[in-house]
Structure 1
Amino acid sequence: MSATPRIDLASVTRLTELADYIVPFTIRVMCDLAVADHLVEGPLPVDVLARRIGADPAALTRGLRALAGRGIFTEVEPEVFGLTPLAEPLRSDHPFSVRECFPLMPPDIYSWARLTHSLRTGETAFGHVHGGTRYYDHFADHPYECVRFERSAESVNPFVLRTVAPALDLAAARTMVDVGSGHGTFAAGLLVRHPELRATLLDLPHVVAEAPQVLAHAGVADRCEIRGASFFDPLPAGADVYLLKTIIHDWPDERAAAILRNVRTAARPDSRLVIIESVSRYGNHDDTGKVMDVKALALFGGRTRTEQEFRALLDDAGFRLLRVTPTSSMSVLEAVPAVPVPENGPTAGSPAVAAAGRSV
């Protein structure tokens, strides 16, 4: 006989909030319309705000009221809206702005609508929806979506940098290769903090094309070299540090190991590998990495790994894991070469090398 369910209205309310996608979608539209940027000087009547952003006043009122009820924006008087602390990070000029973090990208949305396929089969919903196309291969033919994705990924870097920089010991390093660097905002932040450091940014050509302006804005362009290439191709050799920030979780074990072997081939015996990733742990604690693990399942085909799984991947690639340092955002994993390059490492003609590589 089944147990009688508890009557807990608070749980029902909380579950309804967590399952709702109306509020998340509305937040993303407000980001697209740059609503918070137009409220920096103070509250505005909705008709004025709508005129400035190119929206319908009545429709905009409905969206803003829905968010104001959740503490995002505030209706200070009828049809006059302003910012709240929760809305402030939606400003473009906020030090930890998340405005670019929440793009509404139809290819992603169609994939999430087929998440059931991923949970039933273990395959990506993205590939299922888009005829077997891999996530990052899609961007090569859709430059606008590629830029939006990269800006989304880069937008969290100021926060991640602030949290992980204290755990990164780069004082003795003089050269660094950022493998899968994106537009270079994370590397630029490290270079600002370490004036003696020089860096090579490596990512696909259509991705690093955006890097020069990022580096110039940070004032570190003279200490950077930019290379447009896949991280399945041979990497720049002999650097003090090889950085892999949020790369490994995008890939299944075989390809993740191929990336690490590529780094091992390029590394000196005294080089250091730094991996910045979420590390999965057993238990019921709230962890962004657990949520991102579902994203990796649905879109990329990778996964969030445990410390033991990282250790096994690194051992297979010829690295020895030294330490794992958790931070409030991600963990910093440090490894050093341990054995000669594995004889079965990736070769120029292997499928792994031929595949395109990207970061998230």
Structure 2
Amino acid sequence: MTTTTPTIATGPPPSPPPPVTEGVGQAPTGSLPQSAMRLREIVFGAARAAAVRAAARLGVADQMDDEPVGAAELARRLDTDQQSLSRLLRALSCHGIFAETADGRFCHTDMSRMLREDAPNSLRYIALWCTEPWTWEAWPRLDDAVRSGGHVFHTLYGKDFFSYLHDDAGDSARVFDRAMTTSSTQSARDVAALLDLSGVRHVADIGGGQGHVLASLLERHADVRGTLLDLPKVVAGADPRLREGGALADRVRLVPGDARQEIPVDADLYIIKNILEWDDDSTRRTLRNVVAAARPGARVVVVENLVDDSPSMKFTTAMDLLLLLNVGGRKHTTESLVARMTEAGIAVGEIQPVNPYLHAFHGTVPVR
């Protein structure tokens, strides 16, 4: 097996946060140190998350336009209690989600607009997904997960996470599907813009969900064919562009299957995006199956969030802990993902940032 030393292509590194020093910029003697105030805010983080969830569920952002609006009028539109709504908006405004004007009205900010359902970069369903009812049950058990190194979901609900989601929490499952669709649609454009498909005639999207990355690539490259492989229920709901009658259907094969069991696809390029985070065994099996299916010289691109070398580490490290809780999985470091790919027999080359949240690991299947 041939391996190469990966080359990391990055832009300017993110600026480190300024150090927090006791006494710097403090108010008069006797006031709380800045670090104590910050810690108090952090431990009350559940209130902040709950406030975002409430605003998303109530549809507050959708009932506001470009002009400031009074709480009374907004409460009328939403059929809520005026005083309670004012309190919610004031709490969110402290964090830049909505803003309060000098005369007590409220208006949009860049962040609050992303809670609108019709926003092109909407995070409404991501906000709902990360605050679903089961999350409030799981987070207090984080110390148990840290002690054991495994998930706590079976202890809480008597079954694994996805069985619970689809058997007992249909509303949450639908939120999950919408959140993943939103996230995939937005990132697919970035992945498609990044990848050079020179010499590629057939691209396989492994565990690609509804196939948004594949669809975006095929739209950019009219001479390329594609295969989408995912679980039967998933490919049945593939992007309409890929299904029968869709604009790209004549260049696509939809293959129901489990990448952890077998990948019956011969392609020039295999894309694996955000599926190597459930557990180490699943990651190893999926990568080995790619190598088993691929011909020598085939390209493999793994796209993942990282818990290092990323300006989005606050978000990604939080998701890393959530994965520990619900499925016993994890987000990768650069080192751990390179190790898994190399162990599977993939020669890792360049590593590129896709956007502030994702990195692309480029590899090839060497001559055996």
Matched, 1:18 2:45: no
Cα deviation, residue 332, structure 1: 0.6
Which of the numbers 113, 120, 123 marks the counterpart of 2:147? 120
Aligned identity (percent) is 31
Please state whether the residue corresponding to 2:349 is helix, strand or coil.
Answer: strand
Q: RMSD of the TM alignment (CA)?
A: 3.1
- Give the corresponding residue for 2:116: 91
What is residue 224 of structure 1 aligned with on the other side? 252
- Whole-angstrom CA distance in 1 between matches of 2:70 and 2:289: 57
User: Is 2:169 the counterpart of 1:138?
Assistant: no
Equivalent position amino acid for 1:235 in 2: I
Q: Which residue of 1 aligns with 2:331?
A: 304
User: C-alpha displacement at 1:83, in angstroms?
Assistant: 1.0
Whether the 8 Å contact between 1:36 and 1:90 is mirrored in structure 2 is yes
Any stretches of 5+ residues in structure 2 without a counterpart? 1-20, 24-31
**Given residue 11 of structure 1, which amino acid in structure 2 is its aligned partner?**
S
How far residue 123 of structure 1 moved from its aligned partner, in angstroms, is 1.2
Decide whether aligned partners of structure 1 residues 112 and 336 sit closer, same or farther in structure 2, where only a CA change above 3 A counts. same
- The structure 2 residue matched to 1:107, chosen from 109, 124, 134, is 134
If the length of structure 1 is used for normalisation, what is the TM-score? 0.80
- Partners of 1:245 and 1:28 in 2: CA distance: 27
Q: Which of 313, 317, 329 matches 1:290? A: 317
Residue number among 136, 152, 172 corresponding to 2:179 in the alignment: 152
Partners of 2:52 and 2:305 in 1: CA distance: 25
Which whole-Å CA distance do the structure 1 matches of 2:51 and 2:339 have between them? Answer: 42
CA distance 1:176–1:334, shift in 2 (3 Å): same
Match of 1:349? none
Q: How does 1:149-298 map to 2 (within 5 A)?
A: 149-161=176-188, 163-213=190-240, 219-252=247-280, 254-281=281-308, 286=313, 288-298=315-325
User: How many angstroms apart in 2 are the aligned matches of 1:323 and 1:93?
Assistant: 36
How has the CA–CA distance of structure 1 residues 140 and 227 changed in structure 2, closer, same or farther, with 3 Å as cutoff? farther
| Superposed displacement of residue 282, structure 1 | 8.2
User: Is contact 1:150–1:183 with CA below 8 Å preserved after alignment?
Assistant: no
Tell me which of the two structures has the higher relative contact order, counting C-alpha pairs closer than 8 angstroms and 6 or more residues apart: 2
For 1:227 and 1:58, locate their aligned partners in 2 and report how far apart those are by CA, in whole Å: 54
Q: TM-score, normalised by structure 2?
A: 0.79
Cα distance, 1:259 vs structure 2: 0.9
Q: Which amino acid aligns with 1:168?
A: L
> How many angstroms apart in 1 are the aligned matches of 2:246 and 2:74?
33
Q: Which amino acid aligns with 2:35?
A: S
In structure 1, C-alpha distance between the alignment counterparts of 2:175 and 2:273, rounded to whole Å: 19
Question: In 2, distance between residues paired with 1:13 and 1:281?
Answer: 27
Change (3 A) 1:325 1:245: same
User: What is aligned with 1:336?
Assistant: 364
d(CA) in 1 for partners of 2:209, 2:164: 16
